[in-house]
Amino acid sequence: MIVLSGIQPTGRFHWGNYFGAIRQYVELQNQADAAFYFIANLHALTTVEDAERLRQYTLDAATDLLALGINPDRATLFVQSDVPEVTQLCWLLMTRTPMGLLERCHAYKDKKARGLPADAGLFTYPVLMAADILAYDADTVPVGEDQVQHIEVCRDLAGSFNHLYGDVFVMPKAKIMESAARVPGTDGEKMSKSYNNTIGVFDEPASVRKAIMRIKTDSRPVSEPKDPESDHLFQLYSLFVDDKRREEMAALYRRGGFGYGEVKKALAEVALGYFAEAYEFRKELESTPQRVREVVGDGTAMARKRAGEVLHRAQAACGIKY
């Protein structure tokens, strides 16, 4: 099993990133023959326009991933733009990409539907993502639900290239942790930076508490029984606890006679406890940025070696090597 995934450095990581993706990265690095995890700064360039911020977010992302358990002995951690082979491969794939396929992709479609101007970077975003995956012969791609469409595009492009030029690319599959496919934000919509409804993994405890207190709840009276499954506050609580505690909370919901404020307090306690160790480890890493850079440097060398081989294979197959 060759595992690969990427994450954009568009700000600090939130619970959606962690439960939708990063937690799986950590689990899979121990089961995989090889695991590649990268910081998708070329993708982030379609939204982050401030150069200094992008630099900072990129280093922050590497530090956060290490703090959350990415182990450089088990996984290759690198920054997308440090592997130019991927952008070369992207062009080869672009020549196999029907416009209609990209027109159906949600990031572009949503922006257009909202009447916002879209650029070619956003439009061709899924092709770069396909190159990211195919460049490492990855077969397993851990992601949240929102990325599944992009992995389908990747499979389409790989299939079309292979059909024309022979067996060049490995066919990848998305891997989704059922329990966290779609982590809700403070308003119940998908947790996302663009909806301004996130809670950060490494936010100061006081801000985490504040964000939790702002989680939207309905206005049913304290005495009324409530359905836990349809409540996003309960869904968030469930991310942090085992089945037994989840069931205890569900029973409380069904019985009624409690306020959402109590659930919020309980959520703050379990969430802060859950990330406490990573929080301390992050502080330690922050004081040794050189170590983080070294890990990323070593990762880049490994990643380029593999991507170079795959690129060569693709170039030879389509007549670019002469």
Q: Cα 71–74–80 angle (5° rounding)?
A: 75
CB 238 within 8 A of CB 14: no
Q: Which is nearer to ligand TYM, 40 or 266 (CB)?
A: 40
Report d(CA 315, CA 310) in Å as an integer: 9
Among the residue ranges 68-76, 186-194, 226-234, 279-287, the one whose residues contact ligand TYM (CB under 6 A): 186-194
Report d(CA 305, CA 83) in Å as an integer: 9
146 forms part of the interface with ligand TYM (CB under 6 A): yes
200 forms part of the interface with ligand TYM (CB under 6 A): no
Given 144, 200, 228, 299, the residue binding ligand TYM (CB under 6 A): 144
String of contacts with ligand TYM for each residue 11-40, x by CB under 6 A: -----xx--xx------------------x
CB 290 within 8 A of CB 62: no
> Which residues are part of the catalytic machinery?
111, 190, 193
86 forms part of the interface with ligand TYM (CB under 6 A): no
| Contact set for ligand TYM, span 39-58 (CB under 6 A) | 40, 43
266 forms part of the interface with ligand TYM (CB under 6 A): no
Q: Which is nearer to ligand TYM, 67 or 141 (CB)?
A: 141
Report d(CA 320, CA 288) in Å as an integer: 43
Report d(CA 135, CA 40) in Å as an integer: 14
Report d(CA 87, CA 71) in Å as an integer: 26
Given 64, 85, 132, 203, the residue binding ligand TYM (CB under 6 A): 132
CB 202 within 8 A of CB 158: no
Q: How many residues bind ligand TYM (CB under 6 A)?
A: 25
Least spacing, CB of residue 114 vs ligand TYM, in Å: 18
Beta bridge partners of 6: 38
Least spacing, CB of residue 319 vs ligand TYM, in Å: 27
Beta bridge partners of 140: 3, 173
CB 171 within 8 A of CB 137: no
Give me the residues that bind ligand TYM (CB under 6 A), please.
5-8, 16-17, 20-21, 40, 43, 129, 132-133, 141, 143-144, 146-147, 150, 180, 182-183, 190-192
